[in-house]
């Protein structure tokens, strides 16, 4: 399978002297197309920092991050923003939807920035709403949707731009267990049926149970990289 992500000797530190924190230290990692992978570890292990480095939301002190062959650690400003827009889908625990826009408009927004033609935008929005089980709810604004429905809109928005990879930072943190499990099953189905590549940063056991690969982090380093033959159904 083609490699989507390749990090080489990646390091990110915060503070200095006695307050120095080695959040990510010398991490080399590859993610192939179609993976359903979770970065896991105790609080402070570096999993969210590593996810942010992979997504170009943070800048490493050392090392490289290549996404589809492009070293995103070497670009900045508008060029980096444009690259993230076109190649990476993000899902956050706080949903990050625009409250004054409808679900359809939230999903469409990134495509507007990409200058996708109106007809194509409409088709993709309809397809995404159906894929995440929200057909008929596209006219509702975020305050009119449940937390689980809002996170489904976030998943649809992340997919609509047709990115190379979707990065999900604690996507179930604000959901009850039943809603979280349902959302994860939607994402796993998207992974299995469409080959969408997902990488999670999480401490949620439900995500760990469903992931085919678990990258265990401790003190900013990879402690164990585990491929799993059997996952939860």
Listed in sequence order, the DSSP H helices in the chain are 47-54, 77-87, 103-113, 118-131, 147-160, 177-194, 205-210
- The radius of gyration computed from the CA coordinates of the chain, to the nearest angstrom, equals 17
CB 68 within 8 A of CB 94: no
Kindly indicate the confidence band of residue 233, based on its pLDDT and cuts at 50, 70 and 90.
low
Give Cβ neighbours of residue 201 (< 8 Å, ≥ 6 apart): 38, 39, 47, 48, 50, 51, 167, 168, 169, 170
- Backbone φ, ψ for residue 133 (5° rounding): 75, 30
Q: What residue spans define the domains of the chain?
A: 3-227
The overall average pLDDT reported for the chain is: 94
- Looking at residue 229, its pLDDT comes to 79
18-53 pLDDT, tens digit each:
899 999 999 999 999 999 999 999 999 999 999 999
Give Cβ neighbours of residue 207 (< 8 Å, ≥ 6 apart): 38, 171, 172, 184, 200
50-85 pLDDT, tens digit each:
999 999 999 999 999 999 999 998 898 999 999 999
In DSSP terms, which residues pair with 40 in a beta bridge?
A: 216
Q: How far is CA 48 from the centre of its chain?
A: 11
Nearest to 159 by CA among 202, 201, 111, 103: 111
Fold of 3-227: Rossmann fold (3.40.50)
SS3 140: coil
Tokens 């709810």 -> residue:
137
CB 165 within 8 A of CB 51: no
Whether residue 150 has pLDDT greater than 80: yes
Measured from the Cβ of residue 20, the count of other Cβ atoms closer than 10 Å reads 9
5-22 pLDDT, tens digit each:
999 999 999 998 889 999
Report DSSP state, residue 91.
E
In DSSP terms, which residues pair with 29 in a beta bridge?
A: 7
Report DSSP state, residue 171.
T
């Amino acid at each position: 399978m083609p490699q989507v992500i390749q990090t080489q000797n990646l390091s990110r530190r915060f503070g200095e002297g006695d307050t120095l924190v080695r959040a990510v230290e010398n991490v080399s990692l590859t993610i192939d197309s179609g993976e359903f992978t979770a970065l896991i570890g105790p609080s402070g292990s570096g999993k969210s920092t590593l996810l942010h480095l992979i997504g170009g939301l943070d800048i490493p002190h050392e090392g490289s991050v290549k996404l589809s062959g492009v070293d995103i650690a070497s670009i900045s400003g508008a060029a980096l923003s444009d690259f993230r827009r076109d190649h990476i889908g993000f899902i956050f625990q706080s949903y990050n939807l625009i409250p004054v826009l409808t679900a359809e408009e939230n999903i469409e927004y990134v495509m507007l920035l990409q200058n996708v033609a109106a007809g194509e935008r409409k088709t993709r929005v309809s397809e995404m709403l159906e894929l995440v089980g929200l057909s008929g709810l596209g006219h509702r604004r975020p305050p009119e949707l449940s937390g689980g429905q809002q996170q489904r809109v976030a998943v649809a928005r992340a997919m609509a731009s047709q990115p190379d990879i979707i990065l999900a930072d604690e996507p179930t943190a604000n959901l009850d267990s039943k809603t979280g499990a349902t959302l994860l099953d939607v994402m796993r189905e998207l992974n299995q049926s469409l080959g969408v590549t997902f990488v999670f940063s999480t401490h949620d056991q439900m995500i760990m149970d469903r992931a085919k690969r678990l990258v265990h982090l401790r003190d900013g380093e990879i402690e164990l990289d585990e491929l799993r033959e059997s996952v939860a159904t």
